[in-house]
Structure 1
């Protein structure tokens, strides 16, 4: 628990109290993501719009939020937790309160010495990222930090530490093989399903500038990431599958040593379990809303349902076409 609290406390201090210039919302917007219908006060162009529904799965509401949770069991510099709620105070952007896996309250604030308005896209990045991730855990689901594609032999997902090249590899396979994408950031497994269906999230790709250049994609007009200046958000709505698909394989990416050729190795037992556990999105948060035993049981179930691999490859983008041949041969091995 102490280790989790230290991770959760690594963000900036909360906000001084001054509301942005955005006025009250009257229009309601409806979307589909992670297998849920979303009713929102805030327009979310990153999500797939759907007809209005009287029975949306979750609601996103603009509302005033107190600075602290009344029954908080943990209070960090930017995160507060209670048994049924989580509050994020993102300096200069907004305050988010996630409740019971059903609602996200958004209170837009700015620092007193900052501009009066906060760009809507900045508010949405934290709403569609950490806030939705917390809500998924509150519903006892498994948000997976993966890049995934629908290949000719099923859905293959790629995981690894930050900077392992998940998005780069996923985008490379999409643009060179024409395979539709399922996820580039977070996708969801619902343990209650009879199969390990992977539910897509927002249809966007986050790529570093050098990867965009290697793929011949112009950065003009793309949205820069808030925390990583040389990373860009690329909306590829038409390239994404919108509905859940059974997950066939999870692959952990590793960097090959100099002179080492690309290799793909099946993983079993403890190694496979650790790989699946490592693919969880913000597991420190997940353990706040799920007991360690329950979380491990769900991971063990998922590990038994899918294939797990380790893929080691050279890091150079110039060698990408040759280094992915081993992976492509394996993925396509059952194509008739």
Structure 2
């Protein structure tokens, strides 16, 4: 990279196992180990072109050409993601600078594009590092991913791997994940159910009733992945946990890919599907349905907890349970 990470004004962070050097502080990311060497990603403020030229592939809000992706968040900033190694941003000149909004798109769309440029496999899933390994949770917006991660974290003390995006990698035939962005974004009803006050919390940029809780530290290192849970909320009835196999399991993985439109831009044809098939075959895929209301939430989680850790619930530092024996379906 071109910049000296020790230079004044350069902030060092780590996310998804990548060492990041940034010209602006990214408070949402974990700080890098002071002894860490090397830089995987550089984030710098500077001039960003308005177009990638006539040969660019143009989509609704972004354009791509060769190893670059360009997009603009109107009134906030324009971003250029290049080669899986750099993100350049230019704040909008006609608006009052909003660093919080700049970071939201930096760590969302821009980082997602960079992960795909590097050939990684990001899932739109939160995750927890249990004593047995990592469990990931996916589902449509409003299915309760962040609420579930926060609830299990508070109940059992399991470290939060990621709130929204988790990168899964195949290392020698075994699936692993690394820590993502150490934060939680929770709706107002979830905060109330967990008796967390709203005072001092940052509101979500696009959703007024959602709040961001930054964590003191994220999960460090790499952890084996045990499974992916598809969350489904229903209006009434009892909770249930089922095992998905074959086409349903693969469809769950492929439907959880974060920003798949970016993957198709840089990956060889068919490679995303092949990687998804390997990932679906390498871990348990479950579906957990529960009532939409948070009333009696602990009771409704019982089938899920039994499926994750068995009939006995280990605390951090205790022997892992046999997770395979507890799943149903």
Give the TM-score normalised by structure 2. 0.88
Name the structure 2 match of 1:136.
115
The 2-side partners of 1:102 and 1:302 are apart by 25
Map 1:66-85 to 2 at 5 A: 66-70=49-53, 72-85=55-68
The 2-side partners of 1:155 and 1:76 are apart by 35
Count the aligned residue pairs.
Answer: 306
Deviation readout 1:228-274 (Å, 9 max, x if unpaired): 11111110133x3122211101010112352x211110111111000
Name the structure 2 match of 1:89.
72
- Is residue 30–residue 52 contact of structure 1 (8 Å, CA) maintained in 2? no
Note the aligned Cα RMSD (angstroms): 1.8
Taking a change above 3 Å as real, the CA distance of residues 53 and 170 of structure 1, as seen in their structure-2 partners, is: closer
Name the structure 2 match of 1:271.
248
Matched residue of 1:232: which SS?
Answer: strand
Map 1:275-294 to 2 at 5 A: 275-294=252-271
Structure 1: segments with no counterpart, 5+ residues: 1-24
The 2-side partners of 1:288 and 1:124 are apart by 24
Give the TM-score normalised by structure 1. 0.86
Q: Does 1:101 align with 2:84?
A: yes
Matched residue of 2:296: which SS?
Answer: helix
The Cα shift of 1:193 comes to 5.2
Taking a change above 3 Å as real, the CA distance of residues 110 and 208 of structure 1, as seen in their structure-2 partners, is: farther
Taking a change above 3 Å as real, the CA distance of residues 218 and 72 of structure 1, as seen in their structure-2 partners, is: farther
- Is residue 147–residue 184 contact of structure 1 (8 Å, CA) maintained in 2? yes
- Is residue 123–residue 257 contact of structure 2 (8 Å, CA) maintained in 1? yes
TM superposition outliers: structure 1 runs of 4+ over 3 Å? 191-194
The 1-side partners of 2:200 and 2:71 are apart by 29
Structure 2: segments with no counterpart, 5+ residues: 1-6, 311-319, 323-329
